[in-house]
């Protein structure tokens, strides 16, 4: 069995949960925050049998879209607080999805 951890944009979260549940997959949703943008995103935990892993990955790829977002540049690492730094706008491309696939030792419901 595998555990898929998928970090997706909030805009894609509800549609992805619906698409996965319609195909019979169990999903747990966590409200999370990205470290770089410090903005909300959605993390889904999906336990899946090995032979159905590719189906789950395919659904995530189909539903989750890459989007561009403007953010302010961060001060250089190690710069002194209070030193002169003028943030400037930068464009980052987020997603479709950041996915980790872990092997599950045991799956229990007690």
Contacts of residue 19, defined as CB under 8 A and 6 or more positions apart, other chains included, come to 59, 62, 63
Between 52 and 98, CB nearer to ligand 2BA: 98
Q: What does the H/E/C string look like for 21-70?
A: HHCCCCCEEEEEECCCCCCEEEEEEEEECHHHHHHHHHHHHHHCCCEEEE
Binding mask of the shown chain, residues 80 to 109, with x at each position contacting ligand 2BA by CB under 6 A: ------------xxxx--x-----------
From 12-20, 35-43, 55-63, 101-109, span contacting ligand 2BA (CB under 6 A):
35-43
Residue 37 touches ligand 2BA, criterion: CB under 6 A: yes
Between 35 and 76, CB nearer to ligand 2BA: 35
- For helices 53-63 and 10-22, angle between their N-to-C axes, nearest 10 degrees: 140
| Residues found near ligand 2BA in the complex (CB under 6 A) | 7, 34-37, 39, 41, 92-95, 98
């Amino acid at each position: 069995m595998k555990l898929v951890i998928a970090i997706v944009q909030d805009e894609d979260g509800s549609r992805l949960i619906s698409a996965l549940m319609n195909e019979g997959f169990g999903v747990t949703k966590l409200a999370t925050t990205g470290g770089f943008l410090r903005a909300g995103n959605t993390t889904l935990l999906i336990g899946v049998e090995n032979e159905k892993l590719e189906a789950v990955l395919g659904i995530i790829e189909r539903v989750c879209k890459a989007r561009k977002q403007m953010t302010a540049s961060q001060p250089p690492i190690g710069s002194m607080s209070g030193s002169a730094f003028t943030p400037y706008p930068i464009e980052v491309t987020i997603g479709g999805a950041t996915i980790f696939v872990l092997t599950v030792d045991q799956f229990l419901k007690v």
